[in-house]
């Protein structure tokens, strides 16, 4: 039995670009568990996997829930609420970049082990869109609420309205408007990214996922990206695995990216390879792929995970996750 410590792990995909695409928290496992060529591996549980460096804080929040035997759904919701409330993260929730009219509009979705899902899009003035998405899933017969209807529902559910535009985000928006007011929104690239997507696997072997964002900075008013769209920005199938996306949502939607990643895993591809193949599909479907950033992360039901992304100025590249940070903690495995 190997010494199983808990570790927080961050991986740089497209290392030259310095893009830390995924952060993982999982019991330490033998290398074989991450070997794409390896067939059967021992299940790794629990696991919390998130996009970008900000995922580390989300993973830290989710980890005690998972480690104490809590439900993947509770962990994934608690995890992404951290970046939603962090004003320093400029592409999620409070502090997120507004649209070109100066309104912060949020997209989020959540999915559980039974394939239930909930989503909100073009939602304004609510701090935690992911929790509203969960209420849509649990309290309504619907999957998706948008705009004013989503906000009315949130308020009726007890969520408070608040201004999500921070002075910093407003100042950046005004500067952008002065310089680029006549042009379209800037593409999501290495300077303009950080949607949080998160996947969790609990001690019972159940998967859940969440994705939440303020979307593309300075987008057209009313624009909705991939993040609240089940199958595009997030997909979970408990029999197979889950995937979530980050980057230029239009490109992800065209490829129905996360559903594709999960279907590729269903066909037997390990998570990292499934993400790579889905990125290749995005490339096929988007002639402008060299100007955009798109990334997928995936977690399978055995606890194996991986990610793959493309970024401007780089051919698509893959790198096995590197351990950035080790945290000693008891494991229940």
Q: Which two tokens stand for residue 81?
A: 């609420």
Sketch the per residue contact string, 67 through 106, with ligand SD4: x for CB under 6 A, - otherwise: ------------------------x---------------
| DSSP strand pairing (22-27 vs 144-146) | unpaired
Task: From the candidates 105, 195, 200, 212, give the one annotated as an active-site residue.
Answer: 195
User: Under the criterion CB under 6 A, does residue 229 sit at the interface with ligand SD4?
Assistant: no
In whole angstroms, give the CA distance from residue 125 to residue 135: 17
Residue entry with tokens 């990643």: 261
198, 49 contact by CB (below 8 A): yes
> Distances in Å between the alpha carbon of 151 and those of 97, 161, 247?
19, 8, 25
User: Under the criterion CB under 6 A, does residue 185 sit at the interface with ligand SD4?
Assistant: no
Give the closest residue to 99 by CA, choosing from 121, 120, 80.
121
195 is catalytic: yes
CB 33 → ligand SD4: shortest distance, Å? 28
In whole angstroms, give the CA distance from residue 33 to residue 168: 44
* DSSP 8-state code for residue 317: B
CB 42 → ligand SD4: shortest distance, Å? 33
Sketch the per residue contact string, 199 through 218, with ligand SD4: x for CB under 6 A, - otherwise: --------------x-xx--
Binder of ligand SD4 out of 90, 227, 244, 272 (CB under 6 A): 227
CB 307 → ligand SD4: shortest distance, Å? 13
Binder of ligand SD4 out of 73, 164, 169, 188 (CB under 6 A): 188
Q: Which strand (E) or helix (H) includes residue 237?
A: strand 234-237
User: Under the criterion CB under 6 A, does residue 302 sit at the interface with ligand SD4?
Assistant: no
Give the closest residue to 300 by CA, choosing from 79, 44, 58, 25.
44
Q: Which is nearer to ligand SD4, 193 or 276 (CB)?
A: 193
Binder of ligand SD4 out of 99, 113, 202, 226 (CB under 6 A): 226
Binder of ligand SD4 out of 55, 118, 241, 247 (CB under 6 A): 247
25, 59 contact by CB (below 8 A): yes
Binding site for ligand SD4 (CB under 6 A): 91, 188, 193-195, 213, 215-216, 225-227, 246-249
């Amino acid at each position: 039995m190997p010494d199983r410590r808990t570790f927080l792990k961050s991986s740089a995909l497209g290392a030259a670009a310095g893009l830390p695409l995924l952060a993982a928290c999982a019991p330490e496992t033998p290398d074989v568990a991450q070997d794409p060529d390896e067939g059967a591996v021992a299940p790794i549980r629990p696991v919390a996997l998130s996009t970008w460096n900000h995922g580390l804080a989300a993973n830290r929040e989710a980890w005690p829930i998972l480690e104490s035997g809590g439900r993947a759904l509770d962990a994934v919701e608690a995890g992404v609420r951290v970046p939603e409330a962090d004003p320093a993260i400029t592409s999620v929730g409070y502090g997120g970049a507004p649209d070109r009219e100066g309104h912060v509009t949020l997209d989020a979705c959540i999915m559980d082990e039974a394939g239930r899902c909930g989503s909100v899009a073009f939602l304004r003035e609510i701090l935690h869109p992911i929790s509203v998405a969960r209420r849509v899933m649990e309290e309504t017969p619907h999957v998706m609420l948008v705009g004013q209807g989503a906000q009315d529902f949130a308020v009726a559910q007890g969520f408070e309205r608040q201004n999500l535009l921070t002075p910093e985000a407003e100042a950046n928006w005004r500067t952008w408007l002065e310089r680029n007011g006549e042009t379209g929104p800037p593409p999501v690239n290495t300077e303009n990214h950080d949607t949080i997507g998160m996947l969790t696997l609990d001690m019972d072997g159940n998967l859940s996922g969440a994705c939440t964002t303020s979307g593309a900075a300075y987008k057209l008013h009313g624009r909705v990206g991939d993040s609240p769209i089940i199958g595009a920005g997030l997909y979970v199938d408990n029999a197979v695995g889950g995937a979530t996306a980050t980057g230029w949502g239009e490109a992800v939607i065209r490829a129905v990216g996360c559903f594709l990643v999960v279907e590729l895993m269903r066909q037997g591809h390990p998570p990292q390879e499934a993400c790579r193949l889905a990125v290749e599909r995005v490339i096929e479907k988007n002639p402008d792929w060299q100007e955009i950033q798109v990334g997928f992360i995936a977690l399978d039901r055995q606890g194996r995970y991986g990610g793959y992304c493309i970024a401007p100025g780089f051919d698509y590249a893959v790198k096995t996750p590197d351990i950035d940070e080790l945290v000693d903690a008891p494991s229940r495995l």
